[in-house]
Amino acid sequence: MPTTDLKQLLFKSIEEISNLYRKKEVSPVEITEATLERLQKLEPKLNAFVTVLAEQALVKAKMAESAFIKGEKVSKLFGIPVSLKDIFMTKGIRTSLGSRILQDFVPDEDAFVYQALQDTGAIIIGKNNMLEFAYGSVHPDYGQCNNPWNVNRTAGGSSTGSGASVSAGIGYASIGTDTGGSIRVPASFCGVVGLKPTYDTVSKQGLFPLSQSLDHIGPLTRTVRDNAIVLEQISSRRFDFESLFSGEIRGVKVGVIRSLTDTITNPEVSRLIVSAIQQLKELGAHLYDVEIPGIESIEGAAMPIVLAEASANHQQWFALMEKDYAPNTYANLREGYKVTAVTYLDALEQKKRFTKAVDEVLKQVDVLICPTVPYPATEKDPSFEDGNIDISQRTIPFNVSGHPALTVSAGNTASENLPIGLQIIGSYYDEGTVYRVADAFQQSKGGYQQPPL
């Protein structure tokens, strides 16, 4: 098959590629080889991978090819190239967490999500670059992961390589983690779909924790439907795809979180979000203005939880390896040891109250919406140490509450052609309605937009 045709196939949906496999019009070997070639071509610009598993991937691809030739019944992810953030344990394969401290660490166990992907027959092509320990700062040993829409901008964190690789057509999905927006921010910056599912929907076994109370695991994909396909394989959630993705959202009640939407100061972002809201209305959704008590200040409760829990997870290294941490990571950990027990426990109580407040609003509407991030991709990774916490102001509330939250592209800015994300939030365990609304919106916008890289 010509190289140009293969490149276009790298941007097809999981379902489309799976159907082509079944028809024997393209093989998993061809797709995997093309994916690895694209990775090698773009990696110097993107820096999206810590470890590339080319040899392992090609062995799996040949096995998948054989299964399709024999007509075996296989999963939707069988033979599909995917990646995962380098925060998940992988037996016999380096797991660095983007840190000098673990630069040579090879686990003796597999994380649940890694094993789940293996069990589906997905082809894991590599482990993605990330902010150090998923804690808001890139380690200079690994370097910033760049954005496929403009390689002079960041891909966003902390699931940096996950967002960049999927956006650039290097694999059809990646698994990331999200403690304050670490799936949704890179998805917004890179123009892909990122879901933080309901808290504890995906097992955290084999995940190195940042904050056990706020950590979530979820997929990044190019289409909403692909996202559901992956979530179905790594969780116990099951979806009726035909009814869910009918494109029909007439009568769905959508609550616009006005305090997070009307406060956008970037005029291009504001115009895109206003247009997205109007698009939902034209699709037949019923719009309501809503407010969630305490949402503007809940980040203040989230920070003591993150700070204290992260520092507790680093006790074995903190006192001995200061120089091996990135400076901002170490500064965050130092602050965590200053959080008192009273402050931490009070924050957990605020978390409970805020969760109930979100639940109450979701009794009135089916989903909530607001912008994902108030601006497009920045040049450098924003960090807490630099005071750039506004990046997570609209995402971290739903880590605190644990509700499912997805970002889908609302379009690109006119001045710089950079993606902007629309965030859709649902009730506990109702990823289905979130997907339904997001899919109808994405389809109405013409589907996934490919970066010019």
Active-site annotation, residues: 85, 158, 182
Q: What is the DSSP letter of 192?
A: -
HSE of 448, CA atoms in CB hemisphere, 13 A: 30
Which structure tokens are listed for 402?
A: 């644990």
- Exposed e or buried b per residue across 187-218, where buried means at least 16 C-beta atoms within 10 angstroms of its C-beta: bbbbbbbbbbbbbebbbbebbbbbbebbbbbb
Q: Are 113 and 217 in contact (CB under 8 A)?
A: yes
Helix (H, G, I), strand (E, B) or coil at 91: coil
Strand 150-154 vs strand 146-147: parallel, antiparallel, or unpaired? antiparallel
Residues belonging to the chain: 453
Which run of H or E residues covers position 419? strand 419-426
Of 155, 149, 101, 76, which Cα lies nearest the Cα of 417?
149
Gap between the Cα atoms of 396 and 197, Å rounded: 13
Burial category of 380 from C-beta neighbours within 10 Å (exposed 0-12, middle 13-18, buried 19 and up) = exposed
Geometric angle at alpha carbon 398, from 310 and 195, rounded to 5°: 95
- Number of separate helices (H) and strands (E) present in the chain: 17, 13
Which structure tokens are listed for 4?
A: 């140009």
Gap between the Cα atoms of 333 and 312, Å rounded: 9
Which run of H or E residues covers position 112? helix 112-120
